[in-house]
Amino acid sequence: MKLFGNKENREEGKNGKASGLIERLKQGLSKTRSGLAGKLDQLVFGKKQIDDAILDELEEILFTADLGVRTTQELIDLVQSAVARKELNHPEKLKDILKENMRSFLHLPRIEHQRPKPGEPLIIMVIGVNGVGKTTTIGKAAHRFRNEGKKVMLIAADTFRAAAVEQLTIWGERVGAEVIKQDTGADPSAVVFDGISAALSRKADVVIIDTAGRLHTKVNLMEELEKVRRVVNGRLDGAPHEIWLILDATTGQNAISQAELFHKALGVTDIVLTKLDGTAKGGIVVGLCHQLGLPVRFIGIGEKMDDLRSFDAQEFVNAIFD
Amino acid sequence: MFESLSEKLNTTFKKLTGRGRLSEENIGEALKEVRLALLEADVNYRIVKKLIEEIRRRAVGVDVLESLTPGQQVIKIVNEELTRLMGETRADLQLVGKTPFVLMLVGLQGSGKTTTAGKLAQHLQGQGRSPYLVPADIYRPAAIEQLKKLGIQLDVPVYPGDSQTKPEAICRDALSRAGSVGADVLILDTAGRLHIDDALMSELERIKEQTNPTEILLVADAMTGQDAVNMAEQFNRRLDITGIILSKMEGDARGGAALSIKEVTGKPIKFVGVGEKLDAIEPFFPDRMASRILGMGDVVSLIEKAQQEFDEKEAVKLEKRLRKREFNLEDFQTHLKQMKKLGSLEQIVGMLPGIGQFKQLKKLKPDEKGLIRIEAIINSMTVQERQNHKILNASRRKRIARGSGSNVQDVNRLLKNFIQTKKIVENLARKGYQNMPSIFH
Ligand SMILES: Nc1nc2c(ncn2[C@@H]2O[C@H](COP(=O)(O)OP(=O)(O)OP(=O)(O)O)[C@@H](O)[C@H]2O)c(=O)[nH]1
Ligand SMILES: [Mg+2]
C-alpha cells in the first residue's frame, strides 16, 4: 500500500528504526485490516441481498475506523436507500458504493488561498492541540519546500513548551532552513513580528510559523493565537496565506471539536493528518471534511523528514477497507 | 471532561422518567441511545457491544428495584457497569519495598510522557520523596533538553544523558547513580513509539529487564479514538504495565478511551493530567468518574480540591449559604478569588454535579484581566449593595462604574453574570448537595 511509502525513499535512521519496519508495519496492518474487512468479504460472498449481518459488519468497520456516529449513519443510510431504489442489488457492489461516497466527502476543492504578492514570501501558520505533530510536520514540510529549491525560514513561536525552540532549531539544521527565535517565555506575537521582518529582508520564499500546542477549549490561548495571526497580517498584507491545522490520526471524535474551534477562531485552509503509520485509520476526517468543507492536504506517515505525503482520497478510503 | 456524554445520557434518562416500570421495550430504546452516546464518546465498538449486553441482561433480570423510577433504575445500572469497568476503587502508586523505586513511562508519540514525568516528580516531591528524572528519549529532537528544563524548573536532578547513548544504558547507569544524587524514585521518560514498532517495543522490554521498574505507566491521550484498544493491548502485552495515566483531560474530549484502555488491559488508571502546568495532575477516582459520565458530577472531588486550596472557613460558610440557597455578590467575589487559586473555571465546572444541564456556566469564562475588572467593580460597592444586588439602581450603578474605573455596561454585564451564576449555583446546591446522594440509597 502506497500510503506507507516505499523503502527507497526513506533515509536510514541512526537507530535503525526505518529498516524493515515498514515491511513489518505493512504486515501488521494487513493483519488487523483483513480481520474486519475479510469478514465483510466473506459475508458478502455469494449473497444476493444485503442483509442485517452485512450492515452490522459494515457498521463495525466504519465505527472502528473512527468515522463516528453521524457519518457512519449517513453512509449506511446512503447504502440502504440505494438498496431501496434497487441501485444496489448486488452485495459485491457495496464496498464500491461506500468508497465512492466517502471519496466524495473527502474530495474537496482546495480553498482559494490568498497568494503572496510577487517578491513576497508564502507564509504558513501551523496550529493544533498538544502533541499532534506540529513541529515535526513543519520539519518535513520545510524539507519538501527545500527540495523544490525554495529558501525556507522557520519561526519558533512556541515560546511556552520547554525546549520547543530547540526542537525546531534541530529540524531547521536537518533540512537547511534558518530558524528565527527568541527565548522561551517571549511573547509569541513579538517573535512572529520580528521573524517576518527578518524573512522579508532576507528574501525567504517560504516562512513557516510553529505555534505552541493548545487545547481548542482554552479561550485565552485561542485569543493569543488570533493575536499572532493579526500581527502576521499587520506585518505583511495578505498573510498568513495558509493556516494548517494538524490532526492526529489516533484522535477520536474530539477531532471534530478541534477542527470546529480552530477553524472558527483562525480560518483553517488545510488539514494535515499525522501518525497514519500506526494502526489508527483517521476516519474522523471523512465526516469532518464533509461538514466543515476543509480539505486534507498532507498525511504524516512517520518521524523522518521524508514522511510527509500528499493526501490521496482514493488511497485513504481503500486503506479503511483493506 | 465527559460533559458531552453526560448530556447525551441525561437526555436519554429524561425521556425515561414517568413511564412506569422498565419494560423490555423501553430498555431497548434507552439502550440504543446509551450505545450511541458511548460510541460518540469514543468507547471502543466491541466494548460498547459488551457493555450494552451486560446492562440489558441486568436490567431485564432480577436486579430491578421497586423503589426507583425507571430513569433512576437505568442510571443506577449504567453507573454500576461503568464503575465496574473503570476499576471500582482508587489506585495509587505502589511504592513499597526497597528503594530506589523506578517509574517507567511509556506510550505513543505525543501522548504527554515528558510533561507527565515533570508532574510526577513534583507530586512525589510533595510527598517527601526525592525524584530523579531520567531522559531516555534519544530520538525526538530536543526531548532530553525538554526534560532537563523541567528538572531545573522543579529543582529536581536530571540524569545527564545524551542522544548518543542507548536508552537502556542511560537507564541502567541512572539507576546506579541514584544513591549518589540522593534520589529514592527514578522517573524514566522513554521515547514515544508506535505499539507495532517491534524494534522500539523490544527496546522497552530491555529497559524493563535492566531496571526492574516498580511501576510501568502507560501515558495515553484522553482524546484517543477507537485505536486505544490496539495501542493499550500491545503495550500491556509486551511490558505488563502496572497502571495508566490519562493526559489532556481538561479539554472537551468525552474520554471513552479511558473505558477502552481499562477494559483491555485490566490495569488501573492512576492519574489524570488536567493542564500544561506541572501541578496539573490529579488522582483518578473511577467511581466518581462514572457518576460524572452520567452527569451527576463529582461533588466529593470538588469539595476535596476546595479543601486543599480554599480557606476552609470560607468554604464552610459558602457551603452553608449554598444549602440555604443564598448567594450574594460577596460570595461571588470570594468564589471568583478562589477560582483563581483553583485553576480554570472549566476544571471546576467539570466537577460540579449535573454539569450537562448547565451549559450556560461553561460560557462564563472570565479571563485574568476580566477577573481584575470584576474585583474592582465589586470592591466599589457598599456592603449593603453586595449583600443585596436588588438595590442596585441606575444611579448606584453609575457611581460604582465611576468608582471602579469602568463603565455602566461593565457593571451591568457583571450583574448579569452574577445573577446567572447565582441561579446555577443555587440550583446546583439544591440538586447536588441534597438530592444527589439519595439517588442510590
Ligand atoms: N509515528 C509518527 N509519529 C509522529 C508523526 N508526526 C509526529 N510524530 C511524533 O509525535 C511526537 C510529537 O510531535 P511534535 O512535532 O513534537 O508535536 P507538536 O504538535 O509540535 O507538539 P507540542 O508542540 O508539544 O504541542 C514526536 O515524537 C514526533 O516524532 C507521524 O506522522 N508518525
Ligand atoms: Mg511543537
From B294, B313, B332, give the residue that closes a domain.
B294
Q: Is A63 on the interface with B (CB under 8 A)?
A: yes
Q: Is the CB of B405 under 6 A from ligand 1?
A: no
Ligand 2 centroid to residue B109 C-alpha, Å: 12
What's the pLDDT score for residue B40? 86
Cβ count near B199 (within 10 Å): 16
**Stretch among A309-318, B52-61, B277-286, B288-297 having the lowest mean pLDDT:** B288-297
Nearest to B141 among A21, A170, A219 (CB): A170
| CATH assignment of the domain containing B35 | 1.20.120.140
d(CA B411, CA B317): 26
Element at B346 (helix H, strand E): helix B345-351
From B60, B85, B110, give the residue that closes a domain.
B85
Looking at residue B240, its amino acid is D
Cβ count near A192 (within 10 Å): 27
Q: Based on the domain organization, do B326 and B417 belong to the same domain?
A: yes
In a 10 Å sphere around its CB, with 0-12 CB exposed, 13-18 middle and 19+ buried, how is residue B118 labelled? buried
Q: Based on the domain organization, do B123 and B207 belong to the same domain?
A: yes
Task: Indicate whether B129 belongs to any domain.
Answer: yes
From B294, B327, B357, give the residue that closes a domain.
B294
Ligand 1 centroid to residue A135 C-alpha, Å: 7
Q: Hey, of A21, A74, A130, A165, which one would you mutate to test binding to chain B, going by the most B CBs within 10 A of its CB?
A: A130
Task: Indicate whether B17 belongs to any domain.
Answer: yes
Nearest to B251 among A28, A163, A217 (CB): A217
Return residues 9-28 of A near B (CB < 8 Å): 13, 15-17, 21, 24-25, 28
Q: Alpha-carbon dihedral of residues B106, B110, B113, B115, nearest 10 degrees?
A: 180
The answer to whether residue A7 scores a pLDDT higher than 70 is no
Angle between helices A21-44 and A313-321 (to 10 degrees): 70
Residue ranges of E strands in A64-131: 122-127
Cβ count near B366 (within 10 Å): 17
Q: Based on the domain organization, do B159 and B277 belong to the same domain?
A: yes
Q: Which domain holds residue B123?
A: 101-294
Q: Based on the domain organization, do B261 and B193 belong to the same domain?
A: yes
d(CA A316, CA A67): 13
Q: Based on the domain organization, do B332 and B395 belong to the same domain?
A: yes
Is residue A213 within 8 A of residue A159, CB to CB? The reply is no
What's the pLDDT score for residue B13? 54
**Stretch among A288-302, A308-322, B210-224, B329-343 having the lowest mean pLDDT:** B329-343
pLDDT digits (tens, 9 = 90+) for B268-285: 999 999 999 999 999 987
Q: Based on the domain organization, do B398 and B314 belong to the same domain?
A: yes
d(CA B166, CA B137): 9
Q: Based on the domain organization, do B333 and B253 belong to the same domain?
A: no
| Residue whose grid cell is 517571549 | A186
Task: Indicate whether B94 belongs to any domain.
Answer: no
| Residue whose grid cell is 530506589 | B100
Q: Is the CB of B435 under 6 A from ligand 1?
A: no
Ligand 1 centroid to residue A300 C-alpha, Å: 10
> How far is residue B28 CA from its own chain's centroid?
31
Q: Based on the domain organization, do B62 and B175 belong to the same domain?
A: no
Residues of B in contact with A251 (CB under 8 A): 221, 223-225
- What average pLDDT does range A92-113 have in this prediction? 86
> How far is residue A188 CA from its own chain's centroid?
24
| CATH assignment of the domain containing B404 | 1.10.260.30
Confidence grade of residue B2 (pLDDT, cut at 50, 70, 90): very low
Distance from CA of B317 to the nearest CA of A (A): 31
Q: Which of A136, A251, A308 to mutate to test the pocket of ligand 1 (most atoms within 8 A of CB)?
A: A136
Confidence grade of residue B141 (pLDDT, cut at 50, 70, 90): very high
pLDDT digits (tens, 9 = 90+) for A131-186: 999 999 999 999 999 999 999 999 999 999 999 999 999 999 999 999 999 988 89
The answer to whether residue A17 scores a pLDDT higher than 60 is no
Return residues 176-195 of B near A (CB < 8 Å): 194-195
Show Cβ contacts of residue B188 under 8 Å, excluding neighbours closer than 6 positions: B102, B103, B104, B105, B134, B136, B171, B174, B207, B211, B213
Task: Indicate whether B96 belongs to any domain.
Answer: no
Q: Which atom of ligand 1 is nearest to the CA of A307?
A: 31
Compute φ and ψ for A46, nearest 5 degrees: 75, 0
Task: Indicate whether B67 belongs to any domain.
Answer: yes
Distance from CA of A64 to the nearest CA of B (A): 6
Angle between helices B312-323 and B408-428 (to 10 degrees): 80
pLDDT digits (tens, 9 = 90+) for B385-420: 888 888 999 988 988 888 887 888 889 988 888 887
Ligand 1 centroid to residue B122 C-alpha, Å: 25
Confidence grade of residue B70 (pLDDT, cut at 50, 70, 90): low
Q: Is A132 on the interface with B (CB under 8 A)?
A: yes
The ligand that comes nearest to the alpha carbon of residue B110 is 1
What's the pLDDT score for residue B201? 98
Q: Average model confidence (pLDDT) for chain A?
A: 87
**Stretch among A109-113, B3-7, B204-208, B392-396 having the lowest mean pLDDT:** B3-7
Cβ count near B98 (within 10 Å): 6
Distance from CA of B166 to the nearest CA of A (A): 9
The answer to whether residue B376 scores a pLDDT higher than 90 is no
What's the pLDDT score for residue B382? 83
Nearest to A250 among B108, B200, B367 (CB): B108
C-alpha cell, A77: 443510510
Are A161 and B276 within 8 A, CB to CB? yes
Compute φ and ψ for B185, nearest 5 degrees: -135, 125
Q: Which atom of ligand 1 is nearest to the CA of A167?
A: 16
Confidence grade of residue B250 (pLDDT, cut at 50, 70, 90): confident
Element at B40 (helix H, strand E): helix B24-40
Q: Alpha-carbon dihedral of residues A286, A290, A292, A297, nearest 10 degrees?
A: 60
Distance from CA of B110 to the nearest CA of A (A): 4
List the Cα angle A123/A126/A128 in 5-degree steps. Answer: 160
Q: Is the CB of A91 under 6 A from ligand 1?
A: no
H-helix segments, B179-268: 198-211, 228-239, 256-265
Nearest chain B residue (CA) to A254: B253
In chain B, the number of structural domains is 3
d(CA A221, CA A198): 26
What's the pLDDT score for residue A113? 78
Confidence grade of residue A31 (pLDDT, cut at 50, 70, 90): very low
Q: Based on the domain organization, do B349 and B372 belong to the same domain?
A: yes
Task: Indicate whether B9 belongs to any domain.
Answer: yes
What's the pLDDT score for residue A208? 98
Q: Based on the domain organization, do B145 and B288 belong to the same domain?
A: yes
The answer to whether residue A40 scores a pLDDT higher than 50 is yes
What's the pLDDT score for residue B333? 74
Are B195 and A278 within 8 A, CB to CB? yes
Q: Based on the domain organization, do B198 and B73 belong to the same domain?
A: no
The answer to whether residue A107 scores a pLDDT higher than 90 is no
Ligand 2 centroid to residue A212 C-alpha, Å: 6
| CATH assignment of the domain containing B223 | 3.40.50.300
d(CA A6, CA A8): 6
This complex has an ipTM of 0.88
Task: Indicate whether B424 belongs to any domain.
Answer: yes
Are B194 and A277 within 8 A, CB to CB? yes
Q: Based on the domain organization, do B272 and B331 belong to the same domain?
A: no
Task: Indicate whether B95 belongs to any domain.
Answer: no
C-alpha cell, B278: 506541572
Sheet of strand A308-310: strand arrangement: A178-180, A152-157, A206-211, A122-127, A242-248, A270-274, A296-300, A308-310
Nearest chain A residue (CA) to B137: A15
d(CA B378, CA B366): 15
d(CA B2, CA B131): 33
Return residues 221-260 of A near B (CB < 8 Å): 248, 250-255, 257
Q: Is A307 on the interface with B (CB under 8 A)?
A: no
Q: Is B436 on the interface with A (CB under 8 A)?
A: no
d(CA A86, CA A90): 9
Concatenating the DSSP letter of every residue in B259-326 gives HHHHHHH-PPEEEEE-SSSTT-EEE--HHHHHHHHTT---HHHHHHHHHHHS-HHHHHHHHHHHHTT-
Return residues 145-204 of A near B (CB < 8 Å): 160-164, 166-167, 169-171, 174, 184
Are A131 and B112 within 8 A, CB to CB? yes
C-alpha cell, A274: 499525522
Compute φ and ψ for B177, nearest 5 degrees: -95, -10
The answer to whether residue B354 scores a pLDDT higher than 60 is no
